[in-house]
């Protein structure tokens, strides 16, 4: 009887772990595809929507879904044909400041190649309708552990031109952080 109970308990634990690993792949964030956005709104064009001065406001969530940080970033996109530089100046709620620079290339087929000094290899993205999906590996700063995380980044163009950004950061396939942010043309006056 004890052996049967132990076997049932082990089987139950295995089933729960398997469900926890597979369920997000079936119904979660990672199941969406660009085809889901075909013909569903204005075309996301990085040359237009990631151009000029941009105000970005966002929240970072830790592995348990609690807010770990809030930020405001002043961004600026400069395009020369199909190549761009997107600079970012972040100010976090802790007072920490961070500067980043993306180097983007847009292919004729709509593929976006992204490079930055803290990426582990190039990022690759595509856009379809009002959505843009990017995949890349980012190396955290040494003071944050220096880990390399796999990132899935979705940007959604809203009817008013604002971009909603949702990103998930994973280590060994396990979600360790999530980011939600807005990006919109910089207003004439920016609140302090």
Per-domain residue ranges for the chain? 1-31, 41-185
Which stretches does DSSP call E strand in the chain? 52-61, 67-80, 83-92, 97-106, 112-115, 123-128, 131-139, 148-157, 163-171, 174-185
Task: Give every CB contact of residue 102 below 8 A, 6+ residues apart in sequence.
Answer: 84, 85, 86, 87, 88, 114, 115, 116
Q: Which fold has domain 41-185?
A: Lipocalin (2.40.128)
Contact 43, 130 (CB under 8 A): yes
**Tens of pLDDT along 116-163?**
999 999 999 998 899 999 999 999 988 888 899 999 999 999 999 999
**Tens of pLDDT along 3-26?**
677 777 777 787 677 666 655 555
SS3 for 127?
strand
Return the higher-pLDDT residue of 32 and 47. 47
pLDDT at 145 (0 to 100): 85
pTM recorded for the entire structure:
0.79
Contact 126, 110 (CB under 8 A): yes
Task: Give every CB contact of residue 132 below 8 A, 6+ residues apart in sequence.
Answer: 44, 46, 112, 125, 126, 154, 155, 157
Query: Binning pLDDT at 50, 70 and 90, where does residue 39 land?
Result: confident
Query: Binning pLDDT at 50, 70 and 90, where does residue 30 land?
Result: low
């Amino acid at each position: 009887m004890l052996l049967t109970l132990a076997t049932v308990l082990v089987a139950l634990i295995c089933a729960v772990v398997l469900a926890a690993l597979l369920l997000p792949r079936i119904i979660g964030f990672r199941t969406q595809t660009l085809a889901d956005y075909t013909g569903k709104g204005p075309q996301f064009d990085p040359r237009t929507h990631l151009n000029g001065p941009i105000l970005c406001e966002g929240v970072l969530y830790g592995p348990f879904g609690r807010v770990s940080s809030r930020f405001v970033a002043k961004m600026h996109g400069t395009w020369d044909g199909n190549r761009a530089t997107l600079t970012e100046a972040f100010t976090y709620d802790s007072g920490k400041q961070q500067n980043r620079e993306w180097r983007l290339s847009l292919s004729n087929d709509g593929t976006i190649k992204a490079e930055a000094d803290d990426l582990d290899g190039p990022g690759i993205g595509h856009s379809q309708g009002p959505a843009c999906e990017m995949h890349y590996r980012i190396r955290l700063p040494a003071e944050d552990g220096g880990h390399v995380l796999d990132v899935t980044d979705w940007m959604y163009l809203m009817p008013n031109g604002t971009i909603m950004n949702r990103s998930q950061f994973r280590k060994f396939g396990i979600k360790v952080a999530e980011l939600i942010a807005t990006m919109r043309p910089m207003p004439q006056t920016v609140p302090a």
